[in-house]
Chains A and B, each alone.
Chain A
């Protein structure tokens, strides 16, 4: 059977007890010496702190509805940031060339439309290509129905 060994407690004698009682009396005297109205002044000064205490962020998050709202806001923000980053990283697609269908009777109108588009676009290679198209269509004359598109350049050599 094991025996628990406790450290020896201090042995109090009568003079220790008397001194402890004197200390209690001293403490009571100090407490009694508090200026009149001390408690009231302390309460007046400290009570506003009860109501005006700022709620720390961690405490706000600890409240369930606030936690849900904060998590939702965080997720939404993250999604927006991801979309924005994705857009920044993606190379913008080349603009499609305008596709203009013409009929035989409106060949001149189609060419004029192409020239208008070319005028809006300041890229010289396209303008030059449209000039070539204009010349080709003028040479081929009526009955030719054509479309423009990205592959037109390849077809130009075979015309």
Chain B
């Protein structure tokens, strides 16, 4: 069996794939933004003195982490309408992927916050800093720097998981490659290109995260 690779076909479909890449990046970016904010809320909610809230949030995080992302995507999109929640594929996709990754990010934040030495909390109390300022100015800046590598991993992770959104018809890279393949009865070129596009974005992203962490440490004098 010989490799039947058509360069002209590859170049012909590349623009459409690149266009779909924009959608993939948008989905990853927006989903990650949701996860960053929601994850922090989930992490902080587990540090309140309100025992019931802490337990509920803890269980929700465990539940989200223990069920597959693709199931959660289906659930939001197909089961949501039964509860009167009608969302477009884009909205439900972003919600599902954002919530899913917020559970993981909340764990990253949590371990970062736990790693801030006890003396820092005591110094905040000795200086009488109010709760909000204690977190915003002292604890979180110190918690986030060691959390950056973990956060970077999930940035690449969410990017690689966006193809799951194709199952509910979001026009991202995977969906486009599939469409192109079905139209032309040729799957080798579009799928290979998809793999290369993912590779070319993921690899530098990981390196940039490392660089960012180093810069951040320097800037903060750590």
A interacts with B:
no
